[in-house]
Copies of this chain bind each other. A is one copy, B any other.
Amino acid sequence: MIYKEISNFSSDGKELEYLFHPQGIAVVGVSQNPANLGRQFFLPLIQLQYKGNLYPVGLEDSEIAGLKIYKSILDIPEPIDYVICCIPASATPQLVEDCVKKKVKVVQFFTSGFSETGEEEGKELEQKLLDIARRGGVRLIGPNCLGIYCPSQGLTFLNTTPSLARSGQVGFLAQSGGNSRELIEIGSVRGIYYSKGISFGNACDLNESDFLEYFTQDKETKIIGVYIEGVKDGRRFFRALRAAARIKPTIILKGGQTEAGSQAALSHTGSLAGNEIVWQAICQQTGAMLVNDLDEMMDLMLAFSYVKRPRGRRLGVVGFGGGRSVQSADDCERARLSVPSFPPEIRQKLREFTPEAGTSVRNPVDSSPFVFWDPLLFSQTLEIVESYDGVDSLLVYLPMAFAFVDRGEQLIRVQVEAIKDFKAKSRKPLIVALLSGGIPRVLQLDFELERILLDAGIPVYPSLGRAACALSRFVKYYERNLSQPF
């Protein structure tokens, strides 16, 4: 039964591979006006060096980026696989008719004003597009969405920048264009990179289950992020989610879980959203990880992107500052991680160089400035903590406010280098919390250090609470999926 399902979705999913390798793209609704949205879709494709042919289509008798603007897709001499539609809703049926004639494979509608308006007129127009497309063998993405992001192919969204061209191992499908953009934009800062992403709006044709099945079988995708508001076929989605979560960490944000949220989802993508308890049960049964917002989703994507499988929930915590130390222990235990007291032999080793006053070597290690800011003693601390059999992972927190003190910035840089060196030889998972508290004058340094740590393969969190929550769910995933390799 299980195998049958997997083989089912695999063939379904694979079928969509062509979406990410279009040979020709037309952007319809382009003009020279800088505020024109078609133009804002078109130019990033050039900036990201889309590998196929690219054609602007619009009413103006002119050029854009040296390319002639065609009046109709039917005037384009070469074949077109993928059409990005940025024209008013009323003109879309004609465009789909043209796409059928042009043998276009898929049309993506940035255009909105369909079923999500709640008006009969919009619903009928959406149905009309679907009817024309189904008859003519054209597939639709959307309407009311941003379409396909695939940095390795130079495929991208409205208004993205060249800095977003880096590929990674996370695939996402998101019913919201804004959320899709945030996953990419904020991801690029936090060190989360994507294999492919799809913003799919109202999902009148290709829907969440199609895309989820695609990502489940896609070899370039190791981790899956899902933002949905409504589901077209509940049984199929449940099966797809179970199959996905069985083999890849699958993180899901369900928009519209509350009464007010569900009404907002109805206006946003015309989705009938389900309630919180139902979705908790679905995720419990499928093994998908339900989160409450995009920050939580990205916190998990980060852990799965950087951290290897830990053996359990026992954490060694190292930092500086008594209040922080208490907070770190409380945050970890609230997240159901354990912070076991070190046995006498570990404490004794730490005490050999850690002064008694104002410190603790019990776990969390609340270090002394003399140890914490000395790269040698600090490394030794980390090594001793790692050497203890009773901890599975290490959490190190750095209070960035110390960058203010005399030579503080220099000290913290040296310390980050020490963490990097430790990481290179350590065997246990390591995560770092850089605690800037949002203070402007340490943020530049914070970003720089975050980048250094990420490049060394160490995920970085902005607070102890978020680090603990992400790590706990990360561990839980493997507790559930015991067959996943260490």
Contact = CB atoms under 8 A, between A and B. Distances in A.
Nearest to A180: B323
Nearest to A408: B159
Interface string A151-184: 0000000010100000000000011111101100
Nearest to A117: B356
Contact of A334 (B89, B258, B263, B339): B258
Contacts of A18: none
Interface stretch (A133-141, A439-447, A471-479): A439-447
Interface in A419-447: 437-440, 443-444, 447
Interface string A256-299: 11111101110111000000000000000000000011110000
Given A177-B322, A360-B267, A186 B255 contact: no
A176 B144 contact: no
Nearest to A338: B260
A438 B462 contact: yes
Given A89-B357, A113-B356, A113-B357, A264 B174 contact: no
Copy number in the complex reads 2
A405 B356 CA distance: 55
A221 interface: no
Nearest to A330: B261
Contacts of A190: 438
Given A263-B362, A293-B331, A439-B186, A325 B268 contact: yes
A30 interface: no
A367 to B, nearest CB: 12
Contacts of A322: 176-178, 264, 267-269
Nearest to A178: B321
A175 B325 CA distance: 13
B330 A257 contact: yes
A119 interface: yes
Contact of A437 (B40, B185, B358, B464): B185
A186 B260 CA distance: 33
A264 B329 contact: yes
A179 B322 CA distance: 9
- Counting chain A residues whose Cβ lies within 8 A of the other chain, the interface size class is 35 or more
Interface string A453-467: 000000000111100
Contacts of A360: 264, 267-268
A406 interface: yes
A384 interface: no
A186 B437 contact: yes
Interface in A313-357: 321-334, 338-341, 356-357
Interface in A370-423: 399, 401, 404-406
Contact of A362 (B257, B259, B267): B267
A34 interface: yes
A111 to B, nearest CB: 8
B265 A326 contact: yes
A35 interface: yes
Interface of A: 34-35, 40, 89, 111-113, 116-117, 119, 122, 144, 159, 161, 174-179, 181-182, 185-186, 189-190, 227, 229, 255-261, 263-265, 267-269, 292-295, 321-334, 338-341, 356-360, 362-364, 366, 399, 401, 404-406, 437-440, 443-444, 447, 462-465
Given A259-B333, A264-B360, 19 more contacts: A117-B356, A175-B323, A176-B322, A182-B401, A182-B437, A227-B323, A258-B330, A261-B330, A263-B329, A263-B341, A264-B322, A264-B339, A264-B362, A265-B326, A267-B325, A268-B326, A293-B464, A438-B462, A440-B443
12 contacts: A174-B323, A175-B323, A176-B322, A178-B321, A178-B322, A178-B324, A189-B440, A264-B364, A265-B326, A267-B366, A292-B465, A293-B331
- Pairs of residues from A and B, 6 with the lowest C-beta to C-beta distance, nearest first: A176-B323, A113-B357, A267-B360, A258-B333, A261-B330, A268-B322
